[in-house]
């Protein structure tokens, strides 16, 4: 499978950068995976809901500029199906057969805009918990690696 992890913001923590690099290296055995990050926009300290929506909309527009019409957009959000690793592997394997490019999108600290969610072909959750977007990037890459190992019948840590 090939895929793009499309996200908001740069990784500020060294361990997050190293984790992403490690899983991208591991994933290279299974296909071409890349990370594309757009700039996160600063929010005023006491931003109103309207200001936060405006920031999310601008970040969403920046994200959508990297999505081609035929791409399959998979939005990571809390309110979505949260499959186990085996189910995720089967779902991704089924999706990979149609030739569409999979784009996994991770929003910024305020979440994903309505535009991005409307464009999404699928929504995916890893938990009801909220994770920092930098950590979510590492978690997503690890789960993609795990899904590839499951798909190919290789051992994985349960």
Reading the block at residue 109, the tokens are 């600290």
Segment 110-154, tens digit of pLDDT? 899 999 999 999 999 998 888 888 899 999 999 999 999 999 999
**158 confidence band (pLDDT: 50, 70, 90):** low
**Cβ atoms < 10 Å from Cβ of 99:** 6
**Residue with the larger pLDDT of the pair 47 and 124:** 124
Comparing C-alpha atoms, which of 94, 93, 102, 106 is closest to residue 146? 93
pLDDT above 90: residue 20: yes
As beta bridge partners, residue 133 has none
What contacts 152, CB < 8 A, 6 or more positions away? 30
Sheet hosting strand 72-76, strand order edge to edge = 33-38, 3-8, 102-106, 72-76, 122-124
What long-range pairs does 141-146 form, CB within 8 A, spacing at least 24? 141/5, 141/19, 141/20, 141/23, 141/24, 141/27, 141/33, 142/19, 142/23, 143/85, 143/88, 144/3, 144/23, 144/27, 144/33, 144/92, 144/104, 145/23, 145/26, 145/27, 145/30, 146/85, 146/89
Whole-number average pLDDT of the chain: 93
Assign domain 3-151 to its CATH architecture: 3-Layer(aba) Sandwich (3.40)
In the chain, where the domains are located: 3-151
Segment 49-96, tens digit of pLDDT? 899 999 999 999 999 999 999 999 999 998 888 999 999 999 999 988
CB 119 within 8 A of CB 64: yes
């Amino acid at each position: 499978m090939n895929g793009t992890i499309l996200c908001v913001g740069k990784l500020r923590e060294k361990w997050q950068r190293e984790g992403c690099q490690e899983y991208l290296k591991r994933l290279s055995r299974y296909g071409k995976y890349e990370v594309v990050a757009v700039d996160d926009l600063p929010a005023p300290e006491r931003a109103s809901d309207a200001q936060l929506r405006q920031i999310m909309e601008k970040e969403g527009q920046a994200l959508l500029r990297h999505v081609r019409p035929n791409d399959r957009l998979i939005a990571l959000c809390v309110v979505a199906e949260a499959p186990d690793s085996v189910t995720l592997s089967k779902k991704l394997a089924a999706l990979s057969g149609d030739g569409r490019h999979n784009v996994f999108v991770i929003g910024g600290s305020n979440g994903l805009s309505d535009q991005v969610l409307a464009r999404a072909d699928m929504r995916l959750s890893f938990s009801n918990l909220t994770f920092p977007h930098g950590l979510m990037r590492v978690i997503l890459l690890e789960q993609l690696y795990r899904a590839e190992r499951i798909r190919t019948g290789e051992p994985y840590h349960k």
